Amino acid sequence: MKKCCLVLAYFGKMPKYFPLFLKSCEYNPKFNFLVLTDDKMKYPYPKNVNIVYMSFDEMKNKIQSYFDFDISLKNPYKLCDYRPVFGYIFEYMLKDYEYWGYCDNDIIFGDIEKFFIEGYDKAFCLGHLTIFRNTHENNRLFMSENIYKKAFTSSKNVIFDECYNNKQNIHDIFLRHSKKVYEKDFSVNFKILSTKFIKITFQPETREFISDDTESLYVWDNGKIFRYYMKDELVKEEYLYIHLQERKMKYQGNLKNIYKIIPNRFLPLEMEITKDNFPKIKKKAFTLHLLQYHIKWKIRGLKRRLISMSFRTE
């Protein structure tokens, strides 16, 4: 059997840096990717990426045909709740793989093979990347509890596909059925509304995210994701992927096989990364978009404080 196929279902225009996502897929030739989308722009799809064009309505009707109750799927964002059922709905397309999973398109992969966890029924807790052992039982386990019906009939996104804010999800179902799960977070994931990169790491024991605002440099280097930072000496760490959620990243399209990733753009790496050079390497570039992003972040924080103050005065 083939090893693993990761499913990306996305409707609407892909991010400008989607070619970088595809390039990171190409550097993982032992893995296959299935892209379901209505974006027919001619992207540089590598051999290990299979593209299937369909409309959002076709996707909705496809999912509905597998259930005897009316599902709620009014917009593409709600599709996140349905990702745990892709192994069931697209079983005929995934039958040749030992594992399958789902991923986002706002990520850049590193070396998946190095971090790939075999022998588990489910690996990872977050929706950016989740992998399942491809068995008949695992692909139908979501139906073992009524949580899925509540998720699929709600018009809101209830975060059924990942662990977040103690909401009931597919991961809980696997745990309650004593499935073998792997929970360590190998991702570089960032706080959403920060104008700088603040790395957050998921702690499965508490279901909380631990923040790390250490000044760091993130680099994609010939198929690998590295983080560099100073701690007496220069530290170099490797990660599975980097997640750029909700960030409008500038991408010039002329990057080589090594580039740096800063909070609002992808840029060529201007010099060798050494202890002496590290302070000299540019790690941020202010733009109007970043200013707008900063204002949005401040407004959201102010609203939260006002709501908290109103509760305390009641």
Q: Give the tens place of pLDDT for each residue, 233-279.
A: 999 999 999 999 878 898 888 898 999 999 989 999 999 999 999 99
- 169 CB-contact burial (10 Å; exposed 0-12 / middle 13-18 / buried 19+): buried
Q: Which residues pair with 103 in a beta bridge?
A: 129
Euclidean distance between CA atoms 256 and 148, whole angstroms: 44
> What pLDDT shows up at residue 253?
84
What's the alpha-carbon Rg for the chain, to the nearest Å?
20
- 34 CB-contact burial (10 Å; exposed 0-12 / middle 13-18 / buried 19+): buried
Strand-strand pairing, 258-262 and 122-123: unpaired
Residue 290 banded pLDDT, cuts 50, 70, 90: low
Residue 247: other Cβ atoms inside 10 A:
22
> What pLDDT shows up at residue 21?
98
Mean pLDDT of 107-122: 96
Give me the percent of the chain exceeding a pLDDT of 90.
81
**Residue 98, amino acid:** E
Helix (H), strand (E), coil (C) string for 142-196:
HHHCCHHHHHHHCCCCCCCCCCCCCCCCHHHHHHHCCCCEECCCCEEEECCCCCC
Euclidean distance between CA atoms 62 and 56, whole angstroms: 10
Residue 165 banded pLDDT, cuts 50, 70, 90: confident
CA distances from 269 to 221, 253, 282 (A): 10, 14, 9
Return the closest-CA partner of residue 105 out of 195, 199, 31, 35.
35
Q: What is the pLDDT of residues 151-161, one digit of tens each?
A: 999 999 999 99
Q: pLDDT higher for 206 or 50?
A: 50
pTM: 0.91
Contact 6/83 with Cβ under 8 angstroms?
no
Q: Which residues pair with 181 in a beta bridge?
A: 122
> What pLDDT shows up at residue 293?
65
Q: pLDDT higher for 55 or 165?
A: 55
- What integer best gives the mean pLDDT of the chain? 93
CA distances from 57 to 68, 119, 160 (A): 18, 36, 21
**Domains in the chain with CATH codes:** 2-182 (3.90.550.10), 187-295 (no CATH)
Euclidean distance between CA atoms 242 and 219, whole angstroms: 10
